[in-house]
Amino acid sequence: MTCLFPIPAFFFLAIILQIAIQQSLAWGHFDPTKGFISLPFNRSYYHIQKPYDLPEDQRYSFINGVHKCWVYSADKTHSLTSRTPARTEIAIQGYNYSSGTWQFEGYGYIPYGTSGVCIMQIFGARPHATTLMLTVHNGTLSYYSSTVLVPYIYDEWFRLNVMHDVDASKVKVYINGTLKIEANGRGGTSHTFKCGVYAQNGYGYSSRVWQFQGNGYVPNGTSGVCIMQVFGATPPLGYM
């Protein structure tokens, strides 16, 4: 008997640093990248954090410019010593920073049902581990789990810009060119960007595709019984 628990999310991303100007795209009236320099981004600038016992191509792919990350609820941690939940994350390397203003830009697609995951974080803080985490719970995109940024984010591409002014200790999050939150920094001396799917404690299974496999035998005459159930339900999700 096998139960499969996929939690997929899709990301196309770029890293952007301060100075110079990029042409504005048609995602709202404001281009957050204006005044920033786009930095080179290829495989030498990131590595994949995925379940330690699996080959990379079992949880990550890069096809036609789209990074795809997915993880299963029964997956192991990304290292033997980690005590965190399972993840498949793109961890930026070579662009760690401790001062100035840095920006992450990505185009994301989160399929219906993905829930209980962090999709992007600024790693590095003090005394906390992170300066920012963007999470998805039941279709809602939030700053950590406290502030709703987008009530319903499923099944459509969106542009994400995260700006971190280290010296001023401020973080800004833009969705499709619209400022959604300005938050205080959380200390720390070194920071880096990460994105993908990182399961959060207390999450349930959370994908649009679930599969149950089993072998059964029901003898003649058996009647009026339930032989299998999926326990747990909520009202249908809708736009808020």
CATH code (residue 19): 2.60.120.200
Percent of the chain clearing pLDDT 70 (strictly above)? 72
Domain span at residue 161?
Answer: 2-213
- Per-residue confidence (pLDDT) for residue 40, from 0 to 100: 85
Residue 16 has pLDDT above 70, yes or no: no
Decide if 119 is inside a domain: yes
- Residue 52 makes CB contacts below 8 A (sequence gap 6+) with 76, 77, 78, 79, 80
pLDDT digits (tens, 9 = 90+) for 122-160: 999 999 999 999 999 999 999 998 899 999 999 888 999
Query: Does some domain include residue 236?
Result: no
Q: Is residue 227 part of a domain?
A: no
Quick check: 171 pLDDT over 70? yes
The whole-number average pLDDT for the span 24-33 is 63
How many Å apart are CA 150 and CA 180, to the nearest integer? 8
Q: How far is CA 115 from CA 121, 135, 161, 193, in A?
A: 16, 8, 21, 21
CB 22 within 8 A of CB 33: yes
Domain total for the chain? 1
Residue 237 lies in a domain: no
Residue 204 within a domain: yes
Does residue 127 have a cis bond before it (omega within 30 degrees)?
yes
Does residue 28 surpass a pLDDT of 50?
yes
| Confidence category of residue 181, pLDDT binned at 50, 70, 90 | very high
Q: Using CA atoms, how far apart are residues 194 and 92, in angstroms rounded to an integer?
A: 6
Within a 10 A sphere around the Cβ of 140, how many other Cβ atoms? 18
Does the reported pTM lie above 0.85? no
pLDDT of residue 65: 84
230 lies in some domain: no
| 58 part of a folded domain | yes
Q: Is residue 115 part of a domain?
A: yes
